[in-house]
Structure 1
Amino acid sequence: MDISETLALKQRDKFHRDFQFLYMTDLETANSITVSFLDWPSVLVLDPLTHLYYIPQENVADITLDSFTAFLYDVKADKLSAYGGTGFIQRAKRVLFDILTTVISVWQSSRWLFMLMFGLPTAVISIVCYSLCCMDTIEEELESDEDSDEEIEPPPYAKLSEIIESEAKQNELGLKETPGGKQQTILENTGGTRRRLKDPENKD
């Protein structure tokens, strides 16, 4: 007869009013209560109203009838530090723990199902994030390379445009020379009228 059974049956008048003894074979339920992975076997005292639980500090194999009785009396007198509760941090830990246990259970049940449920979405999200973050930098590098090429290489028709502009200015001033070396006839604007200026060598 183990220690808990001895206290539950032979010392019923001492502990039955405040404690109910229960033996659990489902370790996952105990892990869900404590939001942790317990060793098996374990001793746990749970308050169902506040969701606070108490765990003895010593190893289960080292617990004796006297030490376990003292542990229950300390829990009843609220002399021990409790774990768990219903606070915000504990609820957040419970959500994360449930997600973790779900992932572990899927991995243990089927590796292919795990890869399909978690590997494929992770790969798709990684590709999308890579394309969004890296394509802009690649385009900026290409644009900077094109700008540097344009700054280094002069335009192919720069000299030709300069020649055309100089000839246009000479035509406006009437200074363009003929192939024979003589100046062409100049039209001079004076007071809104035009007067023809003849060449010095032309006497006609």
Structure 2
Amino acid sequence: MVSLSRLLFFIICCVLANVAIGSRVLELSDKFLEIHKEGQWLVMMYAPWCAHCKRLEPIWAHVAQYLHSSPVGVGRIDCTRFTKVAHSFKIKGFPTIIFLKGDQEFVYNGDRTRDEIVKFALRLSGPPVQEVTKTISFNTLKKDRDLYFLYVGERSGTLWDMYHEVANQFQPHAFFYQSHPVVVDKHAPIESTPALFVYKENVHYNFTGHSAITDADQLNETLYRWINAERFPTFPKVTRGNINQLFLTNKNLVLAVVEENQLEEIPPDMLEFRDMVESVIKRKREKYHDHFQFGWIANPDLVNSIAMMVVPLPSLIVINSTTNHHYIPEDEPEKLTPDVIETFLEQIRSESVPKYGGNSFAVRIYRSWFEVRSALASMWYGNPILTLVLFGLPAGFLSLICYNIWCPDIFDADDDEKESTGSSHIKKD
């Protein structure tokens, strides 16, 4: 029998939420503040005039459709109408995506794609570590999860406690599971328990060395660093949504810079360059993985902002995520080979190559100027007439104001000189 509280909760939701035709997205109002701690919610805070919000609308509809059978309610709130909601959740920009679970609030900062948003919601909808009790479930996991962490052993002991604690911290960013040797069977190479793995690129990578660490603080720090570094694919696509998370690895970020068209297609020559850079980490993972995070980026504007110059396409750039310095090989892109790249990476590790950028005050000022200049240039090439109107009219008004301020003084000064001259003549007569 359905409990009275659940029935009341369902009725309240139906009253305050209007379901749009052809969509499973709930249109919420300020009444949502009364029930937002009941159940689980994935909510988009938006403004009708926001262009980014409009682009997200069809994606959000797909997210709601995908999560319809889950316990997560998907809705949206017009913060221009219900300002009390925006103030309560401290919304500073649009769109803002928030996952609510009881008293917990998680703000989504990843890529605004259906798959990434759905993964974010599914990770947070369950416990930090989910238990796998059937061997056949691993086939589903490998199909649906391109990356996950797996603890094999009993839910007790130092390693388990620390694994659960770190999983709680990284729950918005990765999937964490626990199972037993009999259940895991041949899906992971179990020699002894407890064991810890990360699964990605169809391979399990083992967390080694924990048995030799006796200090609890050292073990906790080592485990945290390992999970933080392994929660990304070996060669991910780097975007504005995930680059800040990649910086948290405290590694050197090695980026193959290419360009995509509107259909996300890469020209053959750039695709060949990207694959060549990927081959370095694929062949020498043991050598470079601890110090370098490889990836590729199809947003030249973002790279130009980091490098404070217009980089050629394709090209290679290495960014120190700790100091924000960057390195650019002296060789032309067409002359870069896996061996040349390896030599370049070794020079970075030995600090024998020039480094650029950083976090100094002068560099930040120059980067701001470069971004403003690039934005103006982009506006000019995109629509020169609109750019002239936007900047020409204020400049014209400013000129008129200056004219009215200074020119009358000049004319008055001339009149005064004439009057004083005339008076002197009268006195002489």
TM-score by length of 2: 0.34
Instruction: Please tell me whether residue 10 in structure 1 is matched to residue 283 in structure 2.
Output: yes
The structure 1 residue matched to 2:347, chosen from 52, 74, 95, is 74
Q: Which has the higher strand share?
A: 2
Aligned positions, number: 156
Q: For 1:137, what is the secondary structure of its paired residue?
A: helix
Q: How far did 1:16 drift?
A: 1.6
Measured against aligned partners, the alpha-carbon deviations of 1:82-135 in whole angstroms (never above 9, x if no partner) come to 111111011111221222222223223333331232111111112222332332
Report the Cα distance in structure 2 between the residues aligned to 1:154 and 1:27, rounded to whole angstroms.
Answer: 77
Q: Look up the match of 1:44.
A: 317
The structure 1 residue matched to 2:337, chosen from 47, 51, 64, is 64
Contact 2:316-2:328 within 8 A present in 1 as well: yes
Report the Cα distance in structure 2 between the residues aligned to 1:5 and 1:48, rounded to whole angstroms.
Answer: 19
Q: For 1:44, what is the secondary structure of its paired residue?
A: strand
Q: Look up the match of 2:415.
A: 142
Which residues of structure 2 form unaligned runs of 5+?
1-271
Instruction: Please tell me whether residue 114 in structure 1 is matched to residue 372 in structure 2.
Output: no
Q: Which amino acid aligns with 2:419?
A: E
Q: For 2:313, what is the secondary structure of its paired residue?
A: coil
Q: Look up the match of 2:375.
A: 102
Contact 2:325-2:358 within 8 A present in 1 as well: yes
Q: How far did 1:46 drift?
A: 0.7
Contact 2:278-2:295 within 8 A present in 1 as well: no
Instruction: Please tell me whether residue 28 in structure 1 is matched to residue 301 in structure 2.
Output: yes
Instruction: Please tell me whether residue 92 in structure 1 is matched to residue 383 in structure 2.
Output: no
Percent identity, please: 27
Q: How far did 1:56 drift?
A: 0.7
Q: For 1:22, what is the secondary structure of its paired residue?
A: strand
Q: For 2:326, what is the secondary structure of its paired residue?
A: strand
**Higher alpha-carbon deviation: 44-53 or 103-112:** 103-112
Q: Which amino acid aligns with 1:33?
A: I
Q: How far did 1:153 drift?
A: 4.1
Q: How far did 1:28 drift?
A: 0.6
Q: For 2:296, what is the secondary structure of its paired residue?
A: coil
Measured against aligned partners, the alpha-carbon deviations of 1:9-33 in whole angstroms (never above 9, x if no partner) come to 1122221221122111111111111
Q: How far did 1:150 drift?
A: 2.5
Q: How far did 1:70 drift?
A: 0.8
Q: How far did 1:154 drift?
A: 6.0
Contact 2:307-2:326 within 8 A present in 1 as well: yes
Cα root mean square deviation, aligned: 2.0
> Highest CA radius of gyration, 1 or 2?
1
TM-score by length of 1: 0.69
| 1:135-174 alignment runs, 5 A limit | 135-153=408-426
Q: Which has the higher helix share?
A: 1
Report the Cα distance in structure 1 between the residues aligned to 2:406 and 2:315, rounded to whole angstroms.
Answer: 50
Q: Which amino acid aligns with 2:278?
A: E
**Higher alpha-carbon deviation: 1-10 or 76-85:** 1-10
Report the Cα distance in structure 2 between the residues aligned to 1:123 and 1:61, rounded to whole angstroms.
Answer: 48
